[in-house]
Structure 1
Amino acid sequence: MEKVAEILAEAASEVVVPRFRALSAGEVMEKAPGEVVTVADREAEVIIARRLRELLPVPVVGEEAVAADPELANALLSEPAVWLVDPVDGTANFIAGRPDFAVMASLVRSGQTVASWIWQPVSGTAYAAELGAGAWRDGERLTRRPATGTPGDWRGFIKGRFLAPADQRRLRANAAAFGRVAAGRSAAGVEYPDIAEGEQEFILYNRTLPWDHAPGSLLVSEAGGVSARLDGSPYRPDPPGGEDGLLVACDPETWEQTRAILLRPAA
């Protein structure tokens, strides 16, 4: 567990942090319509992938490698073990000079996330989780207490950018039942720790790319929370284009209540 954390921190120190608030115009590219990437993303992924394979020689499914060759993501379905890598989660924040970004990795065995790591370079905060063993922040055990009060006291994020307009309107109307709902922090590697640390009670995600959600889902689950599909099935990292929709909450009862409120039919 410690070695992977070191790999992420070292890669960030080598090629990510030196470019924070120092990117030139030629170091930011569009990899798909509306999707940006930087030289820091690409260089960090190469470094992390090489070092992870030295640690455990199994396929690496990295966000940038999959952008170039989508078939690589099928290793999540066909291989007994796979590394997942998000070299800069929150790239838009990174480009804009905002500190909400992270470097993340997960180990997936037989389709289930068994270990995960999140490194937040600006704050120097490390999160890690191991299936059945717990979740940690900088080596301290994380245990998320259940939500208190009523839904009117709860805080959450709703990430509905890719939903149809009618579904977005329904969610906005239903979200009025909660105390405070925001659009999120544009980085799963910051949003999931917010749940584990007690800053938020729930997050609803629409799109669930595996490198974004495997690390935080395990962190929240091992801290006592829930990360599940909207039908209640536990989250498993699927290749892009698979099932979408994911609700994350600080405890099972909060998950159930939040789901019931958010999915109410439009009036």
Structure 2
Amino acid sequence: MLMEKVAEILAETSAEVVEPRFRALAAGEVIEKAPGEIVTVADREAEVIIARRLRELLPVPVVGEEAVAADPALAEALRSEPAVWLVDPVDGTSNFVAGRPDFAVMASLVRAGQTVAAWIWQPVNGVAYAAELGAGAWRDGHRLTRPAVTDAPEKWRGSVKSRFLDPAEHHRMQTAIRVFGKTGDGLRSAGMEYPQIADGDSEFILYWRTLPWDHSPGSLLVTEAGGVAARLDGSGYRPEPPGGPDGLLIAADPAVWEQVRSVLFG
């Protein structure tokens, strides 16, 4: 019941306040909340609605991206509370503002520091992903299992999110990944990129900055579909407040994870 209800909340909120503004944002509806970081009225309105409705389902704290931007201390609930909702009302805001279709609405439930349930709604594609710890991953209600990976690394597809790397490290990694197949910088939306790995459309992606609302939903989706989401020391991903460790490598299976890590970091 919870899995279906949260999926409904995301889709209904998206239809109410996000989708009507896609390619229709008015003057003044896009705000710079920090240097290089933008937010829209759609982000803020959607988060308020989603947070209220999630608390009606399960009355625990909600850690939302926009609420934390206003009050960073709210993120400490991930450490201090036994259960927390995480919300990213529009993941890929820059794409949304630019009129590109690569954005998503996401939520996850964290218990004792571990993601136990996750939801990703892709409005333009009309596709819903969900995952539950130990129970599996789904796409539009159908069980999702990551397809087998070719044993030819030169055919692997992936990306390195290098925005937060220093220029020398950025250049080194972009050179290193040329041993693989089709590579790039990703889609600027975790809610679009993680499903690519779960669906079999990509083999790996390296993230550097790992804000919890960006990575909690997708990491569970990938691992429940048979993939790997791990820190560079091999430890599994756990959502933490901003300012935690950097570096998160997502891969289709353990062998891909090990080989990509070796190529990128030696």
- TM-score of Structure 1 vs Structure 2, range by shorter chain: over 0.9
Kindly indicate whether the alpha-carbon contact (under 8 Å) linking 2:10 and 2:105 is maintained by their aligned counterparts in 1.
yes
CA separation in 2, counterparts of 1:76 and 1:216?
17
Cα distance, 1:145 vs structure 2 = 2.4
d(CA) in 2 for partners of 1:156, 1:53: 37
Residue number in structure 1 paired with 2:228: 226
Return the alpha-carbon distance in structure 1 between the equivalents of residues 201 and 125 of structure 2.
Answer: 16
Pick aligned residue for 1:58 from 36, 56, 60? 60
Distance 2:203 2:171 in 1: 22
Specify which of 130, 144, 147 is matched with residue 146 of structure 2.
Answer: 144
- Aligned residue identity for 1:186: R
Q: State the 1:169 CA deviation.
A: 1.4
What CA RMSD, in Å, does the superposition of the two structures yield over aligned residues?
A: 0.6
Question: 1:164-179 to 2 correspondence within 5 Å?
Answer: 164-179=166-181
Q: Secondary structure at the match of 2:16?
A: helix
Counterpart of 1:56, as a letter, is: L
Match for residue 89 of structure 1?
91
Contact 2:81 2:112 in 1 (8 A): yes
TM-score w.r.t. structure 2 length?
0.98
Question: Is 1:20 aligned to 2:22, yes or no?
Answer: yes
1:109-157, CA deviations, whole angstroms, 9 ceiling, x for partnerless residues?
0000000000001111000000000000000000002311321110001
Q: Deviations over 1:235-257 (max 9, x none)?
A: 00010001110000000111111
Q: Give, in whole Å, the separation in 2 of the partners of 1:146 and 1:246.
A: 22
Amino acid at match of 2:155: D
1:128 aligned residue = 130
Contact 2:19 2:123 in 1 (8 A): yes
Q: How far did residue 25 of structure 1 move? A: 1.9
Q: Deviations over 1:22-43 (max 9, x none)?
A: 0012100000000000000000
**Displaced runs of 4+ in structure 1, greater than 2 A?**
none
Q: Hey, what does 2:219 align to over in structure 1?
A: 217
1:173-213 Cα offsets, whole Å, 9 max, x none, are 21111111110001000000000001100000011000000
Which residue identity is paired with 1:230? L
1:98: how far off? Answer: 0.6
Partner of 1:184: 186
Residue 101 (str. 1) matches residue 109 (str. 2): no
Partners of 2:115 and 2:133 within 8 A in 1: yes
- Distance, in Å, in 2 between the alignment partners of 1:170 and 1:256 is 18
**Which residue identity lines up with residue 253 of structure 2 in the other structure?**
D
CA distance in 2 between counterparts of 1:236 and 1:186 reads 21
The alignment status of 1:263 with 2:265, answered yes or no, reads yes
**C-alpha distance in 1 between matches for 2:38 and 2:148:** 37
TM-score computed with the length of structure 1 as normaliser: 0.98
Structure 2 counterpart of 1:83, which letter? W
Gaps of 5+ in 1: none
Distance 2:200 2:101 in 1: 20
Conserved? CA contact 2:14–2:123, under 8 Å: yes
Pair 1:245-2:253 in alignment: no
What secondary structure sits across from 1:105 in the alignment?
A: strand
- Specify the code of the residue in structure 2 equivalent to 1:219: L
Determine which of 196, 208, 211 is the counterpart of 1:194. 196
Aligned length: 264
- Work out the percentage of aligned pairs sharing the same amino acid: 75
* 1:70-81 equivalences in 2 (<5 Å): 70-81=72-83
Tell me the distance in 2 between the aligned counterparts of 1:176 and 1:9.
38
Contact 2:147 2:199 in 1 (8 A): no
Distance 2:204 2:139 in 1: 19
Letter in 1 for 2:48: V
Equivalence for 1:47: 49
Work out the CA distance in 2 between the residues paired with 1:25 and 1:162.
Answer: 30
